[in-house]
Structure 1
């Protein structure tokens, strides 16, 4: 059996410690521990509830999707981080993030200062 990495052992020794970076959508999710039948503990992120969708224009701005755009492009454009696409997905009623940019010309909501991340982007409404 392989030796655990030092950071894994240290992380597992801290109750409630978080394995996700602050920019992750799972950073604020509660970490649970499941005990397998053989007694092995397995850490997991508990269900993450989405914030309520809002039509308040102070909380969101709109973006018109262009051909060839992807969710990661929008994360980079509005939040300076391509991994922040999840903030946009959370602000729109989609099951699959690819739905955000599937239809050029469609308007989607871009959050201004959403929980779990920094402030809004550089682009206007």
Structure 2
């Protein structure tokens, strides 16, 4: 069950295809990944060694649960998790508006 304002509200349900021979049918009932619209970055932020996505969301949106908005605007961070490692220090990321 999804909340009425969930960002997954419009996601399509997952439907398993024909399994390969010898592979059991998955009992997974869930949703497919939601489609991500490109977001306009309105602020450029240079990453420091202490930055985390949830901390940036707290700083820019006053809500640390909105870290996914920053990730949506910067898909190159997908492998960074919430912690932005040393490889990201000095890179510039875009911070989108809190709500379009």
Unaligned runs of 5+ in 1: 1-17, 35-40, 114-118, 121-125
Q: Whose radius of gyration is greater, 1 or 2?
A: 1
Where do 1:16-95 residues align within 5 Å? Answer: 18-20=1-3, 22=5, 25-31=7-13, 43-52=29-38, 54=40, 59-94=41-76, 95=78
> Higher mean Cα deviation, 45-54 or 88-97?
45-54
Structure with the larger strand share? 1
Q: Answer whether contact 1:63 1:109 (CA < 8 A) is retained.
A: yes
Where do 1:111-122 residues align within 5 Å? Answer: 111-113=96-98, 119=99
TM-score (norm 2): 0.63
Unaligned runs of 5+ in 2: 17-26
Q: Answer whether contact 1:89 1:100 (CA < 8 A) is retained.
A: no
Q: Relative contact order, CA 8 A, sep 6+: which one is greater?
A: 2
Superposed CA deviations along residues 13-72 of structure 1, whole A, max 9, x for unmatched, are xxxxx424736x4344244577xxxxxx86412221111255xxxx52111112211111
